[in-house]
Amino acid sequence: MKKITTWSTLIWLCIFMLHSCSPSIAESTPRFPYSVIRPESLSVLTENELYETKYFTQILDHFNYHPESYQTFQQRYLINDKYWDGSQKKAPIFVYTGNEGDIEWFAQNTGFMFETAPKFKALLVFTEHRFYGKSIPFGGDKKVAYSNSSTLGYLSSTQALADYASLIIDLKKNLTAEDSPVIVLGGSYGGMLAAWFRLKYPHVAIGALASSSPILNFDDIVSPYSFNNIITEDFKSVSENCYKVIKGSWSEIENTAQQKGGLESLRNSFKICKNYIDVNSLKGWLNTAFVYTAMTDYPTPSNFLNHLPAHPVKQMCNAIDDPMAGNNTFAKLYGAANIYYNYTGNATCFNLNDNSDPHDLGGWQWQACTEMILLTEGNNEESIFPASQWNYTDRASNCNTDYGVEPRRHWITTEFGGHDIKMVLKRFGSNIIFFNGLRDPWSGGGVLKSISKSLIAIVAKEGAHHVDLRFSTKDDPEWLKDVRKKEIKIISNWLTKYYHDLSQLAM
Amino acid sequence: MKKITTWSTLIWLCIFMLHSCSPSIAESTPRFPYSVIRPESLSVLTENELYETKYFTQILDHFNYHPESYQTFQQRYLINDKYWDGSQKKAPIFVYTGNEGDIEWFAQNTGFMFETAPKFKALLVFTEHRFYGKSIPFGGDKKVAYSNSSTLGYLSSTQALADYASLIIDLKKNLTAEDSPVIVLGGSYGGMLAAWFRLKYPHVAIGALASSSPILNFDDIVSPYSFNNIITEDFKSVSENCYKVIKGSWSEIENTAQQKGGLESLRNSFKICKNYIDVNSLKGWLNTAFVYTAMTDYPTPSNFLNHLPAHPVKQMCNAIDDPMAGNNTFAKLYGAANIYYNYTGNATCFNLNDNSDPHDLGGWQWQACTEMILLTEGNNEESIFPASQWNYTDRASNCNTDYGVEPRRHWITTEFGGHDIKMVLKRFGSNIIFFNGLRDPWSGGGVLKSISKSLIAIVAKEGAHHVDLRFSTKDDPEWLKDVRKKEIKIISNWLTKYYHDLSQLAM
């Protein structure tokens, strides 16, 4: 597979959810100059107590009946029954609908489930998405599974949803827990899956908490500029100067690079390791820092994508606005990048040629080339990034080069809807919470207004990417505590109604 | 592909919906001893005025991204815009979700749409199901498409539903009719598809009329005896003697066949043509007559499966109870069979080896071997047919022999639900009418009680298989007129609410 080399094409590949997104050009051995991501310290349980690992024999292709469709693979799921009140009590089951990566990582970053399980006496299950982590079709051999479009062809959102339905139904049957209500939860792409799961499989899940799920970021439903507009606002809201410095830096970098010795000068300014540098990679590296810091602009220190301090956007702007840095744009930018890439202070240089993928997120590139045509790349004149238009043709052409596939541009809205969602779901469907934090660039594609009494939007002005699902900390602000309280109350109501209906029907 | 030869296995293949279901053993050239089925005379339009034929370029596999998935085929649809008030007026679109056969046949037997279109100023569309009629993948070459499980593998209900969604969205776009509300309608398997379509694609259809759709005839939701119990009751309700004669006949036929010259004697009794006879085929031939007559026990003369008089079950029983037939069971049975197979009186003999398939229904055998595991074969001690148990192992074994596939026994309920439907849909979903006629054996698997204010069951005690969707006649009984009035009123309400919501949102 050919690697992506230009800056603009790089962004769409790495931008979605949780990628290790430093530019990567196939050359020399990858290193880990900045700290390897580790699970956040767990406030409730030790890591070993969090869950047991199990496997489910999953069918390769739910929707067709070719001989190959009948192949199976081992799908991993994590389970914790420590708090569960059991099937006889019809105690609930909370299922995390896994995203595009190693499910352990998501589980370890979804403290909300561990912390609410005791209250609900809930069984916890985390299902891994096919083609990620240890849930690899074709005998578990990732090299085979990822070798070409004939094998990767089975990596799709509809297959993943059907996997979850099959697994949950089987699990409930095995536990004689058919009457235990299931709530699905997920963040980011996992949140999209949770919302869609409730809509498509209401007979399996009675409700969904879809956190930071940009289900409207497709087709022409929302503006392709919304994503970067929000990042722009994030920085602007902290400091107008900070925004201006970043906005002005791109041409300065470009100009410097074109001068003789310019690249070496940039290398020195940004402490880039000696193995590789080019201007697009450098710009991509900086872009990643701004995008992901905006996404994870949490009010407390975190270690989700990288180790970060509380309010990291503010910290970045502090570095940029620091009078000590004088008028040197690159020194300012370096200070900002250092917040994202080197908060622990361990890095000696930064590797622009880092292919590491500690959370096994590589399959997203395929998903972004087939169905996940999320529109995020537009930059208007005000953008903190250089102005650019969203260009479908570029995407299609790159995907054709990389995989020989053509994106199905309109498939997600054909299958899951999204257009006129208020109209469509006003009198259809129930029991979904759409949480969005407005500092999260993905909130531009989220459901920000309640649709009906039971399709409820919760919006946190100060919130970032699925902050509600994270482990609580003693320093959590009131608004975050309130969000979680609201969510718990709504889920309680769903369960109360469920048990009420069940008792009524039994009469 | 091996042909099915035993009686018990024959039934499950031919019993669903609309098969030309005389036993077929590959031997000698098929003939048409009884009248070829012709479309009913049309009360509103001449045949040529009914619709135009168009084609849509459909994708082969919506859910995967293999190179082969991207293949396309021409999907046929029929369209009638004579009554449509146009996209500017946001006039509605009624879409028939095609069943397992030639779409023209279904269109010609769905007078309800043609007759209500003027009132609603609706556009009419009839979409053909993949692998049937003229909608054949693999270059339209049926021999290739049906050659083995690698090609037939793409024949599934989920693919068909996604076809309909894709076609409707594209059609609306081409007509600039994005705001025109779509109602889906269907009968039998087409009714199941209509109900499922509303549940899975609420963003494409605002409501569904699902007529005689046995969506609960899967897994252990309803009894596998319900189907034949209803047929038993149909005959019993007309005449206890009629029921007893039929019930007693099976052993008499068996005994006769075992005697020397017995088969020849049976041939004479039933006017079986000389090319072929065996006792299982004969029993299957009789069984078919009783099953299909019960299904189409309409209150007026009809020509859907065969030419039939009004109230054909009663007519059959009249033949059986006829004192002129004396005590000769076979003469009585022959008289009854003659109602179903030879109402026009043209047949000189009946061919047990008839492979004709005038409505192109052959693909159902594949569907019954993969996902459509409808439980209809049980016969208890009271049954009009010999007592027998529903046996999944037999089905699986036959399907393995015929196609080398294993049925996915629980897939339909995994994908579409069905268990505890009252509980699941009480607070989810809206705008579906489930019509059932209680004389129809498929009503045993239907939704017979309303689930919520907008998931409404309409039950007609005297009704048969999707009688509501047929062209009206001057002799229609009051209850049938009432059913249609109710349906029209409910659909009107959906549309009123839709236009109301649309105007509210525009404000």
- Contact indicator for B100, B76 with CB cutoff of 8 Å: no
Give CA–CA dist A169/A189, Å, rounded. 22
Give how far A506 is from chain B: nearest CA, Å. Answer: 10
| B335 pLDDT more than 90 | yes
- Record: contact A203-B410, CB cut-off 8 A: no
Q: Is the ipTM of this complex over 0.85?
A: yes
What percentage of residues in chain B have a pLDDT greater than 70? 91
Domain that holds residue B469: 47-211+420-506
Question: Is B157 an interface residue toward A (CB < 8 Å)?
Answer: no
Specify if B396 maps to a domain. no
User: Catalytic positions of B, please?
Assistant: 188, 440, 465
Residues B137 and B101 in one domain: yes
Mean pLDDT for chain B overall? 90
Domain boundary among A347, A379, A404: A347
Question: Is B430 an interface residue toward A (CB < 8 Å)?
Answer: yes
> For residue B206, what is the nearest residue in chain A, using CA coordinates?
A424
Restricting to B residues 344-383, those with a Cβ less than 8 Å away from any Cβ of A are 366, 370-371
| A202 pLDDT more than 60 | yes
Transcribe A248-306 into DSSP letters. HHHHHHHHHHHSTTHHHHHHHHHTB-TT---HHHHHHHHHHHHHHHHHT--SS-EESSS
Give CA–CA dist A155/B487, Å, rounded. 42
- Contact indicator for B449, B426 with CB cutoff of 8 Å: no
pLDDT computed for residue B354 by the predictor:
84
B46 — pLDDT class (breaks 50, 70, 90): low
- Record: contact A502-B202, CB cut-off 8 A: no
Residue with tokens 């500017």: B88
Specify if A384 maps to a domain. no
Q: A216: which chain B residues are within 8 Å (Cβ-Cβ)? A: none
A136 — pLDDT class (breaks 50, 70, 90): very high
Question: Is B404 an interface residue toward A (CB < 8 Å)?
Answer: yes
Averaged pLDDT for residues B184-195: 98
Task: Look at A104-108, A299-303, B7-11 and tell me which has the smallest mean pLDDT.
Answer: B7-11
- Contact indicator for B44, B471 with CB cutoff of 8 Å: yes
Residues A136 and A59 in one domain: yes
A27 — pLDDT class (breaks 50, 70, 90): very low
Q: B414: which chain A residues are within 8 Å (Cβ-Cβ)? A: 162, 165-166, 169
pLDDT computed for residue A325 by the predictor:
81
Mean pLDDT for chain A overall? 90
Specify if A24 maps to a domain. no
Residues B246 and B176 in one domain: no
Domain boundary among B294, B322, B347: B347
Domain boundary among A328, A347, A366: A347
Question: Is A202 an interface residue toward B (CB < 8 Å)?
Answer: yes
- Record: contact B64-A153, CB cut-off 8 A: yes
Specify if B450 maps to a domain. yes
| A254 pLDDT more than 90 | yes
Q: Which long-range contacts (CB under 8 A, 24 or more apart) does A318-327 make?
A: A320/A239, A320/A241, A320/A242, A320/A245, A320/A246, A321/A239, A321/A241, A321/A242
Neighbours of A176 (CB within 10 A): 11
Q: B405: which chain A residues are within 8 Å (Cβ-Cβ)? A: 65, 70
Task: Look at A203-212, B37-46, B321-330 and tell me which has the smallest mean pLDDT.
Answer: B37-46
Q: A154: which chain B residues are within 8 Å (Cβ-Cβ)? A: 64, 66
pLDDT tens track for B214-251: 999 999 999 999 999 999 999 999 999 999 999 999 99
Question: Is B415 an interface residue toward A (CB < 8 Å)?
Answer: yes
| B2 pLDDT more than 60 | no
pLDDT computed for residue A339 by the predictor:
96
A47 — pLDDT class (breaks 50, 70, 90): low
Give the Cα-Cα-Cα angle A31, A36, A38 (nearest 5 degrees).
Answer: 165
Q: B202: which chain A residues are within 8 Å (Cβ-Cβ)? A: 199, 417, 424-425, 428-429
What percentage of residues in chain B have a pLDDT greater than 90? 84
Give CA–CA dist B148/B146, Å, rounded. 6
- B478's enclosing H/E stretch is helix B478-506
- Record: contact B65-A169, CB cut-off 8 A: no
pLDDT tens track for A396-443: 999 999 999 999 999 999 999 999 999 999 999 999 999 999 999 999
Give the CATH number of the domain where residue B441 resides: 3.40.50.1820
Task: Look at A375-389, B68-82, B352-366 and tell me which has the smallest mean pLDDT.
Answer: B352-366
Residues A288 and A158 in one domain: no
Give CA–CA dist A425/A418, Å, rounded. 10
Of the residues A102, A360, A440, A468, only one is catalytic, namely: A440
Specify if A51 maps to a domain. yes
Beta bridge partner(s), residue B77:
B54, B127
Q: Which residue has the higher pLDDT, B19 or A481?
A: A481
Question: Is A429 an interface residue toward B (CB < 8 Å)?
Answer: yes
Residues A86 and A180 in one domain: yes
Give how far B65 is from chain A: nearest CA, Å. Answer: 4
| A327 pLDDT more than 70 | yes
- Record: contact A427-B425, CB cut-off 8 A: no
> For residue A62, what is the nearest residue in chain B, using CA coordinates?
B411
| B18 pLDDT more than 60 | no
Question: Is B414 an interface residue toward A (CB < 8 Å)?
Answer: yes
Minimum-distance CB partner of B200 among A200, A406, A418: A200
Residues B178 and B312 in one domain: no
- Record: contact B63-A63, CB cut-off 8 A: yes
What percentage of residues in chain A have a pLDDT greater than 90? 84
pLDDT computed for residue B304 by the predictor:
87
Restricting to A residues 213-272, those with a Cβ less than 8 Å away from any Cβ of B are none
Of the residues A22, A156, A188, A443, only one is catalytic, namely: A188
pLDDT computed for residue A505 by the predictor:
85
Both tokens of A304, joined, read 């989700």
Give how far A154 is from chain B: nearest CA, Å. Answer: 5
Specify if A42 maps to a domain. no
Beta bridge partner(s), residue B436:
B459
Averaged pLDDT for residues B84-97: 98
A316 — pLDDT class (breaks 50, 70, 90): very high
Q: Which of B58, B63, B497 to mutate to test the interface with A (most CBs of A within 10 A)?
A: B63
Instruction: Provide the sign of the torsion angle of the four alpha carbons A480, A485, A487, A488, taken in this order.
Output: positive
Give the CATH number of the domain where residue A318 resides: 1.20.120.980
Minimum-distance CB partner of A66 among B153, B201, B204: B153
Both tokens of B133, joined, read 């009629």
pLDDT computed for residue B21 by the predictor:
38
> For residue B455, what is the nearest residue in chain A, using CA coordinates?
A428
| A36 pLDDT more than 80 | no
Averaged pLDDT for residues B467-484: 97
Specify if A427 maps to a domain. yes
pLDDT computed for residue A103 by the predictor:
97
Residues B53 and B184 in one domain: yes
Q: Is A440 one of the catalytic residues?
A: yes
Residues B181 and B243 in one domain: no
Q: Is B439 helix (H, G, I), strand (E, B) or coil?
A: coil
Averaged pLDDT for residues B382-387: 97
Residues A62 and A201 in one domain: yes
pLDDT computed for residue B47 by the predictor:
64
Question: Is B70 an interface residue toward A (CB < 8 Å)?
Answer: yes
Both tokens of B507, joined, read 């404000």
Residues B277 and B206 in one domain: no
Of the residues A19, A311, A465, A466, only one is catalytic, namely: A465
Number of domains in chain B: 2
Q: B221: which chain A residues are within 8 Å (Cβ-Cβ)? A: none
Give how far B113 is from chain A: nearest CA, Å. Answer: 24
Instruction: Provide the sign of the torsion angle of the four alpha carbons A94, A96, A102, A105, taken in this order.
Output: negative
Specify if B32 maps to a domain. no
| A15 pLDDT more than 80 | no
| B22 pLDDT more than 80 | no
> For residue B159, what is the nearest residue in chain A, using CA coordinates?
A63
| B492 pLDDT more than 50 | yes
Averaged pLDDT for residues B122-144: 97
A326 — pLDDT class (breaks 50, 70, 90): confident
Q: Please name the residue ranges forming H helices in A69-123.
A: 103-108, 111-120
- Record: contact A62-B404, CB cut-off 8 A: no
* Model confidence, pTM: 0.93
Pairing, β B182-187 against β B307-308: unpaired
The total number of residues shown for chain A amounts to 507
pLDDT computed for residue B355 by the predictor:
81
Q: A201: which chain B residues are within 8 Å (Cβ-Cβ)? A: 417
Residues A253 and A338 in one domain: yes
| B8 pLDDT more than 80 | no
pLDDT tens track for B248-299: 999 999 999 999 999 999 999 999 999 899 999 999 999 999 999 999 999 9
pLDDT computed for residue B358 by the predictor:
87
| A465 pLDDT more than 80 | yes
Transcribe A400-464 into DSSP letters. HHHHS----TTHHHHHH-BTBHHHHHTTS---EEEEEETTSGGGGGS--S--SSSEEEEEETT--
pLDDT computed for residue A304 by the predictor:
87
Minimum-distance CB partner of A66 among B150, B371, B415: B150
- Record: contact B67-A150, CB cut-off 8 A: yes
| A455 pLDDT more than 70 | yes
Averaged pLDDT for residues A141-149: 95
Give how far B334 is from chain A: nearest CA, Å. Answer: 42
| A302 pLDDT more than 70 | yes
Residues B228 and B338 in one domain: yes
Question: Is B505 an interface residue toward A (CB < 8 Å)?
Answer: yes
B506 — pLDDT class (breaks 50, 70, 90): confident
Give CA–CA dist B192/B410, Å, rounded. 16
| A14 pLDDT more than 80 | no
